[in-house]
Structure 1
Amino acid sequence: MTLPLFAADSPDWLKVKDGELLWIPNFLSRVDASYYYERLYKQLDWQQQAITLFGKSIMQPRLQAWHGDKTYTYSGLTMPPNPWISELLELKSRCEQAAEHRFNTVFANLYRDGQDSMGWHQDNEKELGINPVIASLSLGGTRRFVFKHLHCKSKMELELTPGSLLVMAGSLQHHWQHALPKTQKPVEPRINLTFRNVVSE
């Protein structure tokens, strides 16, 4: 069963089964989204690194950069932080206001084409605390984003358009997985910024 999210023009928290979501499709104007995409595409030190998945070392199907105040570890990969740059600090402040939550790091991912992707996962590492709040800001091309509940057949999906903001909160990371699937359709490169609060190292 696929569940609808909520009205595209309703910037309100939605209580879904076992979690909370905030979806603001026009969080940034198209002009601002384009500006930040170009600046971050050129300024961030994009890397493709190996992660451990099901006991095997594989190269990530995307490029990434980690910035902020804390080190972060996931899938066997430890990432010391790069320093903040002004554009990331500007976007962090805006996302903090919308999410009503403070962030001390940002995980930037660059999806170069439709074959770059993110598999099913939960952002439930102990460094993020019990019920993490994660603000996901999209720049560049539009990509399909999907959720599935771990214990029932419920699914949700939406199109992550440039300038859109999706905030995941509550117990969502304990009960839902999410993914950015591959696509054969022609898509523009996309930058995704996930602002997080790392509480330990």
Structure 2
Amino acid sequence: MGADLQGSLFDAFAEPALGALGGVVRTDLGRGAWVDVLPGWLTGADQVYERLARDVPWQAERRQMYDRVVDVPRLLCFYGENADLPLPILDQARDALSAYYAEELGEPFRTAGLCFYRDGKDSVAWHGDRIGRGNHEDTMVAILSVGEPRVLALRPRPGASGAEVSSTLRYPLGHGDLIVMGGSCQRTWEHAIPKATGHIGPRISIQFRPRGVR
């Protein structure tokens, strides 16, 4: 289904488990936007990757692009509020994030969207999660990555002013890394997974969102 995963020796033997969220490092992006990053939050991430790659009912989608219909360059699966997640560790991750961010977010994370980037040709263009409440309210999107690292890039939305950081930020995420985009980030910043050249291994991202945010 994609390139072979080059797993880490530690993850090959570690049972999947979550670390403490108290070690997250926050970057203030300005205008009410911020990101939290915690490398290696999930240990045993390679085992989680293998299970998800094998067991999730991945869907290939096609979308209208100008005057033609094109393949979406990644595989997708969405779990709504009442759907069972494919692995218990993902339920634990969602619950831990809901508890840790309860005071700031004011509600739990409820849905999980999974994306499978099979190789460097798979990508997602610049965008913000602004379908629904994210278009006009502060919210959070928490992304847990398993598999090989891929760069998640962040930049201020074109025409936006007042950002503390004006250049593009690049976070190589994989092997159990966590990033949380919060505050006004979905409205005032954009993020992307750019295409990559060379031997690029597969990565799966799990995006936890509150109700009404896509």
TM-score by length of 2: 0.75
Amino acid at match of 1:94: A
Equivalent residue, structure 2, for 1:26: 40
| Unpaired segments ≥5 residues, structure 2 | 1-21
CA contact (8 A) 1:68 1:84 kept: no
Is it true that 1:41 corresponds to 2:50 in the alignment?
Answer: no
Structure 1 gaps, min length 5: 1-8, 71-81
Q: Report Cα offsets for 1:64-85 as digits up to 9, x if no partner.
A: 1001227xxxxxxxxxxx5433
- Deviation readout 1:76-95 (Å, 9 max, x if unpaired): xxxxxx54334332332233
- The one-letter amino acid of 2:42's match is L
SS at structure 2 position matched to 1:69: coil
Q: Cα–Cα, structure 1 residues 144 and 86, in superposed 2: closer, same or farther, change >3 Å?
A: closer
Return the match for 1:193 from 206, 209, 212: 206
Q: Label 1:130 to 1:57 Cα distance change in 2 as closer, same or farther (>3 A).
A: farther
Deviation, 1:200, is 7.9
Inter-CA distance 86–169: structure 2 relative to 1 (3 Å threshold) = same
Candidates 103, 106, 112, aligned match of 2:112: 106
Question: Residue 34 and residue 97 in structure 1: after superposition, are their counterparts in 2 closer, same or farther (change >3 A)?
Answer: farther
Percent of aligned positions with the same letter in both sequences?
A: 27
Q: Say if 2:68 is the partner of 1:62.
A: no
In 1, Cα distance between equivalents of 2:171 and 2:56: 27
Give, in whole Å, the separation in 1 of the partners of 2:101 and 2:178: 10
Q: Which residue of 2 aligns with 1:180?
A: 193
Give the Cα separation in 1 of the matches to 2:172 and 2:147: 12
Give the TM-score, by structure 1 length.
Answer: 0.80
Amino acid in structure 2 at the alignment position of 1:22: D
What do you get for the CA RMSD once the two structures are aligned?
Answer: 2.4
| Cα distance in 1 between the residues matched to 2:96 and 2:213 | 24
1:74-113 pair list within 5 angstroms:
83-87=84-88, 88-100=90-102, 101=105, 102-113=108-119
Give the direction of change, closer, same or farther, for the CA distance of 1:200–1:92 in structure 2 (3 Å limit): closer
Going from structure 1 to structure 2, the CA distance change for 1:99 and 1:164 (only over 3 Å counts) comes to farther
From the superposition, tell whether residues 83 and 52 of structure 1 become closer, same or farther in structure 2 (CA, over 3 Å): farther
Distance 1:90-1:43 versus aligned 2 partners, 3 A rule: farther
Is the contact made by 2:28 and 2:35 (CA closer than 8 Å) also made in structure 1?
yes
1:106 partner amino acid: A
Larger radius of gyration between Structure 1 and Structure 2: 2
